[in-house]
Structure 1
Amino acid sequence: MKTKTMVLLIVLLMLHSIVLIAQNNSVQEDDFQGIKPYSQNPWYWQYRGDAIILIGGSDDDNPFQWTGKQLTDHLDLLRIVGGNYLRNVMSDRDEGNVYAFKETSANKYDLNQWNNEYWKRLTFFLDETSQRGIIVQLTLWDIFDIRSSSRWGNHPWNPANNKNIEPGTWNNSDDFFATVNKKAKNEIAFQQKFIDKLLSITLKYDTVLYNINNESSEAGEWENYWADYIKGLSDKAGKKIYVTTMQLSPSNAVRHVMTYPNIFDYVDVSQNNQDSKGGRGKAHWDNLMYLREKIASSGPVPMNNVKIYGATDGGTNYSAGSETEAIDRFWRNIIGGCATARFHRPSVPNKLWGSGLNERVQTNLKAMKMLLEKLDITSCTPHNDLLSPRVPVPSTMEAYATANIGNQYAIYFPQGRYTINLDPWKYVNKLKLQWLDINNLEWSEPEIVEVKWEGGIHDWGYQGIIGLETPGNRQCVAFLEVLE
Structure 2
Amino acid sequence: MRSRGWASQSCLRFGLAGCAREPRAGLASPRRGGVSAGRGWTAVLAGVLWAGVAWLPGLASDDAIQPWKENPRYWQYRGRPVMLLGGSKDDNLFQIPDLREHLDEMAAGGANYIRNTMSDRPDKGFEVYPFLRLEGGKYDLEQWNDEYWRRFQNLLQWTAERGIIVQIEVWDRFDYSRDNWEPHPYNPKNNVNYDYAESGFAEHYPDHPGANKQPFFFTTPAQRNNRTVFPYQKRFVEKLLSYSLQYDHVLYCMDNETSGEEAWGRFWAEFIRDRAKAKGKTVYLTEMWDAWDLKAPQHRRTLDHPELYGFADISQNNHNKGDVHWENFLWVWKYVAPRPRPLNSVKIYGADTGRYGTDRDGVERFWRLILAGAASARFHRPDSGLGLSEKAKAAIHAARMAESRVPFWDLQPRQDLLSEREENEAFAAANPAKGCIVYFPNGGRILLDLTAGPGNLRLEWIDIQKGGLAKADSLAGGKKVPLEPPGEWHWAAVLTPAAGAGL
TM-score by length of 2: 0.81
**Conserved 8 A contact 1:254-1:291:** no
Deviates more, 1:247-256 or 1:189-198: 247-256
CA distance in 2, matches of 1:361, 1:83: 10
Please give the per-residue CA displacement for 1:450-484, whole angstroms capped at 9, x wherever unaligned: 235xxxxxxxxxxx312211111131111111233
Please give the per-residue CA displacement for 1:158-208, whole angstroms capped at 9, x wherever unaligned: 122112223232225611111121022332111100100000111011111
Residue in structure 2 matched with residue 475 of structure 1 by the alignment: 490
**Conserved 8 A contact 2:288-2:315:** yes
Residue in structure 2 matched with residue 45 of structure 1 by the alignment: 75
Please give the per-residue CA displacement for 1:257-290, whole angstroms capped at 9, x wherever unaligned: 122222111111111112xxxx211111111111
Q: Secondary structure at the match of 1:154?
A: coil
Trace 1:231-250 onto structure 2 (pairs within 5 A): 231-250=273-292
CA distance in 2, matches of 1:384, 1:471: 21
Gaps of 5+ in 1: 1-25, 347-351, 453-463
Residue in structure 1 matched with residue 87 of structure 2 by the alignment: 57
**Conserved 8 A contact 2:396-2:467:** no
Structure 1 position 157 matched with structure 2 position 195:
no
Structure 1 position 341 matched with structure 2 position 386:
no
Q: Secondary structure at the match of 1:113?
A: strand
Q: 1:73 to 1:423 in 2, by over 3 A?
A: same
Structure 1 position 384 matched with structure 2 position 415:
yes
CA distance in 2, matches of 1:54, 1:267: 14
Deviates more, 1:176-185 or 1:29-38: 29-38
Structure 1 position 85 matched with structure 2 position 113:
yes
**Conserved 8 A contact 1:42-1:300:** yes
Trace 1:196-235 onto structure 2 (pairs within 5 A): 196-235=238-277
- Tell me which amino acid in the other structure corresponds to 2:419: S
CA distance in 1, matches of 2:470, 2:394: 17
CA distance in 2, matches of 1:106, 1:30: 47
Structure 1 position 174 matched with structure 2 position 204:
no
TM-score by length of 1: 0.84
Q: Secondary structure at the match of 1:124?
A: helix
Residue in structure 1 matched with residue 16 of structure 2 by the alignment: none
CA distance in 2, matches of 1:397, 1:108: 54
- Tell me which amino acid in the other structure corresponds to 1:287: N
CA distance in 2, matches of 1:442, 1:158: 51
TM-aligned CA deviation for residue 112 of structure 1: 0.9
Residue in structure 2 matched with residue 18 of structure 1 by the alignment: none
User: Segments of 4+ in structure 1 off by > 4 A?
Assistant: none
Q: 1:247 to 1:396 in 2, by over 3 A?
A: closer
CA distance in 1, matches of 2:65, 2:301: 22
Please give the per-residue CA displacement for 1:201-243, whole angstroms capped at 9, x wherever unaligned: 1101111100000010110000101101111110111111000
Q: Which of 282, 286, 289 is the aligned partner of 2:323?
A: 282
Structure 1 position 412 matched with structure 2 position 431:
no
Q: Secondary structure at the match of 1:345?
A: coil
TM-aligned CA deviation for residue 362 of structure 1: 1.2
Structure 1 position 304 matched with structure 2 position 304:
no
Trace 1:300-339 onto structure 2 (pairs within 5 A): 300-312=340-352, 315=353, 317-318=354-355, 320-339=356-375
Deviates more, 1:180-189 or 1:437-446: 437-446
Structure 1 position 261 matched with structure 2 position 306:
yes
TM-aligned CA deviation for residue 300 of structure 1: 0.9
TM-aligned CA deviation for residue 30 of structure 1: 5.5
CA distance in 2, matches of 1:293, 1:203: 32
Q: 1:262 to 1:186 in 2, by over 3 A?
A: farther
Q: 1:397 to 1:126 in 2, by over 3 A?
A: closer
- Tell me which amino acid in the other structure corresponds to 1:34: A
Q: Secondary structure at the match of 1:434?
A: strand
Structure 1 position 194 matched with structure 2 position 236:
yes
Query: How much identity, in percent, do the aligned residues show?
Result: 38
Residue in structure 2 matched with residue 14 of structure 1 by the alignment: none
TM-aligned CA deviation for residue 106 of structure 1: 3.0
- Tell me which amino acid in the other structure corresponds to 1:48: R
**Conserved 8 A contact 1:41-1:378:** yes
CA distance in 1, matches of 2:76, 2:349: 26
Structure with higher helix content: 1
Q: 1:240 to 1:196 in 2, by over 3 A?
A: same
Trace 1:383-462 onto structure 2 (pairs within 5 A): 383-389=414-420, 394-396=421-423, 398-416=425-443, 418-424=444-450, 426-452=452-478
**Conserved 8 A contact 1:406-1:428:** no
**Conserved 8 A contact 1:397-1:420:** no
Q: Secondary structure at the match of 1:112?
A: strand
Deviates more, 1:222-231 or 1:248-257: 248-257
Residue in structure 2 matched with residue 375 of structure 1 by the alignment: 406
For the aligned residues, what is the CA RMSD? 1.8
**Conserved 8 A contact 2:60-2:283:** no
Deviates more, 1:372-381 or 1:46-55: 372-381
TM-aligned CA deviation for residue 439 of structure 1: 2.4
- Tell me which amino acid in the other structure corresponds to 1:469: E
Residue in structure 2 matched with residue 110 of structure 1 by the alignment: 140
**Conserved 8 A contact 1:405-1:424:** no
TM-aligned CA deviation for residue 396 of structure 1: 4.7
CA distance in 1, matches of 2:424, 2:299: 29
Q: Secondary structure at the match of 1:204?
A: coil
**Conserved 8 A contact 1:282-1:398:** no
Q: 1:153 to 1:382 in 2, by over 3 A?
A: same
CA distance in 2, matches of 1:97, 1:408: 47
TM-aligned CA deviation for residue 442 of structure 1: 3.2
Gaps of 5+ in 2: 1-55, 206-212
Structure 1 position 134 matched with structure 2 position 164:
yes
**Conserved 8 A contact 1:280-1:325:** yes
Deviates more, 1:183-192 or 1:32-41: 183-192
Answer 1 or 2: higher relative contact order, Cα 8 Å, separation at least 6.
Answer: 2
Q: 1:427 to 1:98 in 2, by over 3 A?
A: closer
Residue in structure 1 matched with residue 397 of structure 2 by the alignment: 366
